[in-house]
Chains A and B, each alone.
Chain A
Amino acid sequence: MDGSGDLAFPALVAARLLLAFAPLPDALKYDQQLSSPLTSYSRLREGIYLFQHGIDPYSGGAFRHSPSLLSLFSTVLPLTPYTSPILWTAADAVAAWALVRIWRLRTGAKETSRDGQIAALYLLNPYIFLPSLALSTSSIESMLCLLAVMFACRGRASAALFALACLVQLSLPAVLLAAPIILLTVTRPVSRLALPQPYHAQWKRIIPLLAEFVGYTALLTFASTVVCGNWLWVEKTWGATLTLPDLTPNPGLWWYFFTEMFDHFRPFFLMVFSVHLLIYIAPLCIKFQHDFLYATFLLLGVQALFKPYPTLSDPGLFLSMFSIFPEIYPYLRHPIVTALIHLHASLLLPLFNSLWLRQGTGNANFFYASTLVFGMGNGAALMDAIWAGLRVAVGELKEGYEVAQE
C-alpha cells in the first residue's frame, strides 16, 4: 500500500484485524463513548433490517444514519459478522494510509523514516481503534475526512470535494471543514508555520470549487432522497445534529446540557450551540492563512470538542493528526498537563459511565463531570496546538527572553 517495502504497515493492519475478530467487540457494541446514536452499528443494522422489510427506517426515531450508508450496506456490502470487522479495519487502514500520504506531501519526501510511526499512531490510538472495534460508523467518517484532506493536499480538488461531500452526508458538522479544505486545494500543504506569509485569495479558483462542493452535496442529497423516496431522512439525520432529539450520553458537551435544559430555553440554546461551532472557521482560517492544513487540523479539534454527537474517534482523529506536525512539538505550552488531563478523563469516562448506568452506585453527574474533564483535556490540546502553531514563527529564543502575548 505504501510501497515502502517495510513491514510495519501490513503488520499493523494485520494486528488490527486480529483484534477486530477477537471476542471483545461484542462487549463494546453498545458502549456510549464509542458509538453515538448517529454512528451506532446496532442502529445501522436495525435501519437496514427495516429498509429490507419494506418499512421506512426514517419513520421511526432509532435510525439516524445517512441514506448513503443505508443503500451501500443493504446492497453492495452486506454487513455480516465476518464482513463488518474487515470493512471497518479496511476503513482504518485507508485512513492511516491517507494520513501517511498527507505527511509525505507535507514534508515533500517520497518516503520518510516516520511513515510507520504515523501509521501506528493512527491505527493503535485507542480513541480510534476502540470505536472501530465497536463498528461505529465514525471510523468511516474519519476515513472520509482524511481522504478529503489528502486529496486536497495533492491538489486533486474534485476528489477532495467529493470525499468531503460524502462526509457531510454522514455528519453535518463536517461542513465546517469546507472552507479550509477548499483553500488547501489551492495552496500547498508544506509547513509554513515558521514562515508565515499572507495569503492572497485567488477567488477565481475558490468560487468554482465552492460551487463544485455545493453541487456534489446537492447531488448526493438528491440521490439519498431517491433512495428513501421522501425527505424524512433530512430531519432524522441532519436535523438530529441541530435539534438533539436523542439524549444518549456521549463524551461531548451537548447531551447533559439539553437533558437538563428548561423546555422554553431549548430552541435558543440549540441555536447558540450550533452557531457557536461556526464562529471558529473564519478566525482560524485567517490566522493560519499561510498553512491551511494546520487550520483544518485545528478545526477538527474544535469539532471534536463541540460537535453534537461526538464519539471518541473525533478527538482521536485530532490527537493522531498531531503526528504530522512535528515542528510544533518543542513549542507546546503545557504538553504534560494536557496529556495528564487526557489520561485522567479517559480513565474516568468508562468508569463513571459504568458506575452510573450499570453498577447503579453513581449518578448522571459522575459521567457529566468526566465529560467536562474530557472537554477540558480536548480544549487544552486545542489551545496547545494553537499556541504552538503561532509560537513556531517566533523561533528559538536566547537565554533570558520569553514569548508572551501583548
Chain B
Amino acid sequence: MWWRGCWKSCFVLALHLVAASAQGELFDEDLTLRPLRDGRLEARFSFTTLLKGASPRDPESLRQDDEAQHYTLFPLALGQILREHAVTELHLTLNAGKWNYDHWGYPDEPGVGTGAELWAWMGDTSLTSVDQRWQGLRQSLAGLFCASLGHLDDQRTTSPTLTFQPEGSLPNFTYPHQLRHATLPSEHVCTENLTPFLKLLPCKSLSGIAHLLNPHRVFDADWHGLGVHVRYRERIGVEVRLAFQAVLDPVRYSHDGRRDWSLRSVFDRIVEKACPVARSSKVQVELPGETSYTLSPGPTDVVNDMATYELTSAQEALDVAMKWPGENSFVYPDTSQVPPLTDISVRRNLKGASQAEARLTIEVTNNLPVQVKSGYLETMPWHLQFYLHTLRAYIDDSQRDDLVTILSYAPPVPHSRPALLQAVLTLPPRSTLRLTMDVSKPFLRYTEHPPDAQRGWDLPPAVLVPFAFGEDDSPEFETSASHEANSTWTQEREPYPRRPSRARRIYTPVMLVDLATPDFSMPYNVIIMSCTLIALIFGSVFNLLTRRFVVVRVDSDPATPDVNSVGGVADSVGGTGAAKKTS
C-alpha cells in the first residue's frame, strides 16, 4: 500500500511542477552576503516570481469582472490587490534603522528610508481616480502586511516623478500613468510584518534560503527591512520581487570580538534544503579584497570576487562560513581616516530651540574629484513648513545660491497636503554644500496630536539622486575616479558600475520635529474660561449701553435714605443737565 501513497504524492508534485512551468511562473531566489568594512555583514534576500506573459490590468477594465486568477507560485494575495486596484508598478519598503552610506556603501536594495515607504505607478483614467485606487491600495496592503499603511493618507502623499521613475516599463495604455508616493517614518518593521511576507513565498520559510529568515536574529540586526517590488517587464511579464535586507553584526555576536561569521552564527539557522519549485536558488558571497580570509565550504564558482553556491535539491545542508584566521579581534577602521563609500554624503538636521520656528540645514559633501549634479527631493508633511525665500546655499561660508535650482515646489496646505520640493544641486568637486532654510512649525488642533504627543513627529527622509558626474562627461573623470578607487579597499570591488544605468537614491536619516502641544486635559476649561470672558465683556458692554444713567444722592441722611436714594432720573441721551435738575 505504501508505494501507492508515495506514487500519488510524486504525481501531485510532478503535476505542480508541470502546472507551474505551463503557466509560465518562474521563481528564483538568491541571498547575497557582503562583508562590510566596519565588521558588519550585509545580507540581502531576494525572491523573484515572474508571471510570464502577464500584463498589468488596464484601469479601463475595472468596471468589468476581472479574469480568473490561478497562480501556483505567484502570491495570490498580492496578485489580487494588484488586479483590484489596477496597479502597474508597486514598491513597498518597511525598514528600521539608519543606513550608514559612508561605511556600508550603496545598499543592494535602494529603498532604505527609515519607516514605511510606498510608491506606485498607476494608469490614470476617468473611470476611477488614481487617488481612490491609491487609497484602496494602501489599505489593502496595510491589511496584507499588518502595517499602519493606512496612515499614508493625503497628508503624506505626493507625486515626485523626477526621483521615482518606474523601474520596469509602463504598458501602452491610451492614457498617462501617474505616480503616488508616501512615506511614514514612524512605522517600524517587526515580526508581524515578516510573517505575512513569508506567506507570500511558495516555500514559505520551510525550505530554501527563506529558512534563514529567523525573526529572532533578523530583527536583532543593526539595520533591517523588507521590500515588495512589483514591476512590469515588457514582453516578459509581471515580476514580483520580495526582498529582505539586513545588516548584521558578527562582532557583536562573537565572544571574542572577531568578525568571523557563518550562516549558523548570524541567523542561528542553516539552509537545510533547497526550495523544490525554485528555478534557481543561490547564495552569493562577496569576497573581501584582502586575502587573509577563508571561505568554507568551497563555492560552486567564483566570478568577479563573487563566490556563488548553487543550491540543488540533491544537496545536503549548507552553512557558509567566512573566517579571518590571522585576526585576533576585529579592529574598527578609524572613521576619520577611511573615505566614504558613496559619491556624496548627506547630513540633514533641524536647528533651533523654539517650538514655533527652526532652521533646516542640509550638508551635502561631494566625495569625488569631479563636479556632481544631484537631484534633491523633500516630501515634507505640513508639520514643517518651508520659508523657501530664505533658502541659501553656502560653500565654506561663502554664499553660492547659484548652485541650487528649484525645479518644482508645491507649498503645503495645513491639515491636508504635504510640501513637495524638487531641486537640483550642483556640487563642486571635493566640497561641502550647505543649504539652510528657515522653517515654521505649525500649531495643531488637540485632536490632531498622536497619543504620545510630546515625542514629536517623525519627518520623512530627503532623497538625493546623484545623476551627472563631471563636467559634461569629461574623460578625465574615469581615470581620476578609478585612481581614487584604488586607494580604498572596498571601492574597487564595488559591484556596481561606476556610472549606473539608473541613478541611485540616497536617503537621509529621518528627523524628529518637536511641535508645541496644548494641554490635552483642557478642552472644557478653555471653553468655559474663554466663554466666561466673552460673556463678561458682552454683558458689561450691553449693561452700559442699555441701562439709563441716573444721579443718586449718597449723602447720609439717616431719616430718609430710601426716599432720597433715587434723587432724579436722567436719560443719558436726552437728559442733558439732569444733574442740575436733581440738585
Mask, B558-583, CB within 8 Å of A = 1, is: 00000000010110111111111011
- Please give the distance in Å from A84's CB to the nearest CB on chain B: 13
User: Which residues of A (381-406) have their CB < 8 Å from a CB of B?
Assistant: 382-383, 386-387, 390-391, 393-406
Residue B443 contacts which of A57, A259, A396, A398 (CB distance < 8 angstroms)? Answer: A259
Residue B410 contacts which of A59, A258, A404 (CB distance < 8 angstroms)? Answer: A59
Mask, A337-362, CB within 8 Å of B = 1, is: 00000000000000000001110100
State whether the Cβ of A61 lies closer than 8 Å to any Cβ in chain B: yes
- Are B554's CB and A55's CB within 8 A? no
- Please give the distance in Å from A92's CB to the nearest CB on chain B: 25
A372 in contact with B530 given A62-B385, A390-B549, A403-B549 (CB within 8 Å): yes
User: Which residues of B (71-85) have their CB < 8 Å from a CB of A?
Assistant: none
- Are B522's CB and A401's CB within 8 A? no
Question: How many angstroms from the CA of A397 to the CA of B577 in the assembled complex?
Answer: 10
- Are A261's CB and B527's CB within 8 A? yes
- Please give the distance in Å from B542's CB to the nearest CB on chain A: 7
Residue A363 contacts which of B414, B519, B526 (CB distance < 8 angstroms)? Answer: B519
Residues in chain B near residue A311, CB distance under 8 A: none
Residue A253 contacts which of B385, B411, B530, B570 (CB distance < 8 angstroms)? Answer: B530
Residues in chain A near residue B547, CB distance under 8 A: 405-406
- Please give the distance in Å from B477's CB to the nearest CB on chain A: 33
State whether the Cβ of A251 lies closer than 8 Å to any Cβ in chain B: no
- Are B440's CB and A403's CB within 8 A? no
- Please give the distance in Å from A108's CB to the nearest CB on chain B: 20
State whether the Cβ of B413 lies closer than 8 Å to any Cβ in chain A: yes
State whether the Cβ of B523 lies closer than 8 Å to any Cβ in chain A: yes
Residues in chain A near residue B553, CB distance under 8 A: 400-401
Question: Which of B537, B543, B577 counts the most chain A CB atoms within 10 A?
Answer: B537
Residues in chain B near residue A391, CB distance under 8 A: 549
State whether the Cβ of A305 lies closer than 8 Å to any Cβ in chain B: yes
State whether the Cβ of A10 lies closer than 8 Å to any Cβ in chain B: no
A379 in contact with B412 given A53-B406, A400-B554, A401-B567 (CB within 8 Å): no
Residue B411 contacts which of A55, A255, A356, A405 (CB distance < 8 angstroms)? Answer: A55
State whether the Cβ of A156 lies closer than 8 Å to any Cβ in chain B: no
State whether the Cβ of B314 lies closer than 8 Å to any Cβ in chain A: no
- Are A394's CB and B443's CB within 8 A? no
Residues in chain A near residue B389, CB distance under 8 A: 45-46, 48-49
Q: Which of B89-97, B349-357, B484-492, B501-509 contacts A (4 or more CB under 8 A)?
A: B349-357
Question: Which of B354, B446, B546, B577 counts the most chain A CB atoms within 10 A?
Answer: B446
Residue A372 contacts which of B406, B419, B533, B579 (CB distance < 8 angstroms)? Answer: B533
Residue B578 contacts which of A357, A382, A386, A394 (CB distance < 8 angstroms)? Answer: A394
Question: How many angstroms from the CA of A60 to the CA of B516 in the assembled complex?
Answer: 22
Residues in chain A near residue B577, CB distance under 8 A: 395
A365 in contact with B573 given A50-B411, A61-B414, A401-B579 (CB within 8 Å): no
Residues in chain B near residue A194, CB distance under 8 A: 576
Residues in chain A near residue B410, CB distance under 8 A: 55, 59-60
Question: How many angstroms from the CA of A283 to the CA of B546 in the assembled complex?
Answer: 9
State whether the Cβ of B317 lies closer than 8 Å to any Cβ in chain A: no
State whether the Cβ of A65 lies closer than 8 Å to any Cβ in chain B: no
Residue in chain A with minimal CB distance to B564: A400
Residue in chain A with minimal CB distance to B517: A364
Residues in chain B near residue A308, CB distance under 8 A: none
State whether the Cβ of A245 lies closer than 8 Å to any Cβ in chain B: yes
User: Which residues of A (165-183) have their CB < 8 Å from a CB of B?
Assistant: none
State whether the Cβ of A196 lies closer than 8 Å to any Cβ in chain B: yes
State whether the Cβ of A263 lies closer than 8 Å to any Cβ in chain B: yes
User: Which residues of B (329-349) have their CB < 8 Å from a CB of A?
Assistant: none
User: Which residues of B (393-429) have their CB < 8 Å from a CB of A?
Assistant: 406, 409-415, 419
- Are A375's CB and B413's CB within 8 A? no
A357 in contact with B355 given A61-B411, A196-B572, A283-B545 (CB within 8 Å): yes
- Are B356's CB and A357's CB within 8 A? yes
Mask, B366-400, CB within 8 Å of A = 1, is: 00000000000000001001011110000000000
- Are A257's CB and B551's CB within 8 A? no
- Are B551's CB and A402's CB within 8 A? yes
- Are B356's CB and A283's CB within 8 A? no
- Are B544's CB and A387's CB within 8 A? yes
User: Which residues of A (240-297) have their CB < 8 Å from a CB of B?
Assistant: 245-249, 253, 255-263, 276, 279-280, 283-284, 287, 289-290
Report how many A-B pairs have Cβ atoms within 8 Å: 216
- Are A259's CB and B409's CB within 8 A? no
State whether the Cβ of A219 lies closer than 8 Å to any Cβ in chain B: no
State whether the Cβ of A32 lies closer than 8 Å to any Cβ in chain B: yes
Residues in chain A near residue B545, CB distance under 8 A: 283-284, 287, 386
Question: Which of B518, B543, B546 counts the most chain A CB atoms within 10 A?
Answer: B518
Question: Which of B355, B409, B411, B547 counts the most chain A CB atoms within 10 A?
Answer: B411
Question: Which of A249, A382, A406 counts the most chain B CB atoms within 10 A?
Answer: A406
- Are B533's CB and A260's CB within 8 A? no
- Are A393's CB and B572's CB within 8 A? yes
- Are B530's CB and A256's CB within 8 A? yes
State whether the Cβ of A107 lies closer than 8 Å to any Cβ in chain B: no
State whether the Cβ of B536 lies closer than 8 Å to any Cβ in chain A: yes
- Are A260's CB and B354's CB within 8 A? no
Residues in chain A near residue B414, CB distance under 8 A: 61, 245-246
Residues in chain B near residue A397, CB distance under 8 A: 551, 579
Residue A393 contacts which of B354, B446, B573 (CB distance < 8 angstroms)? Answer: B573
State whether the Cβ of A306 lies closer than 8 Å to any Cβ in chain B: yes
- Please give the distance in Å from A381's CB to the nearest CB on chain B: 11
Question: Which of B527, B547, B552, B572 counts the most chain A CB atoms within 10 A?
Answer: B572
- Are B537's CB and A305's CB within 8 A? yes
Residues in chain A near residue B574, CB distance under 8 A: 196, 198
Residue A395 contacts which of B353, B356, B544, B579 (CB distance < 8 angstroms)? Answer: B579
A59 in contact with B411 given A253-B533, A260-B446, A283-B542 (CB within 8 Å): yes
A383 in contact with B540 given A368-B526, A400-B553, A401-B551 (CB within 8 Å): yes
State whether the Cβ of A218 lies closer than 8 Å to any Cβ in chain B: no
Residues in chain B near residue A57, CB distance under 8 A: 411
State whether the Cβ of B22 lies closer than 8 Å to any Cβ in chain A: no
Residues in chain A near residue B572, CB distance under 8 A: 196, 390, 393-394
Can you give 11 A-B contacts (C-beta < 8 A)?
Answer: A46-B389, A50-B411, A196-B572, A198-B574, A248-B356, A257-B526, A259-B446, A283-B545, A383-B537, A398-B583, A401-B555
Interface residues of chain B, those whose CB is within 8 Å of chain A, are 353-357, 382, 385, 387-390, 406, 409-415, 419, 438, 440, 442-447, 516-519, 522-523, 526-527, 529-530, 533-534, 536-538, 540-555, 567, 569-570, 572-580, 582-583
Which 7 interchain pairs have the tightest Cβ spacing? A60-B411, A400-B555, A49-B389, A379-B537, A405-B547, A260-B526, A247-B443
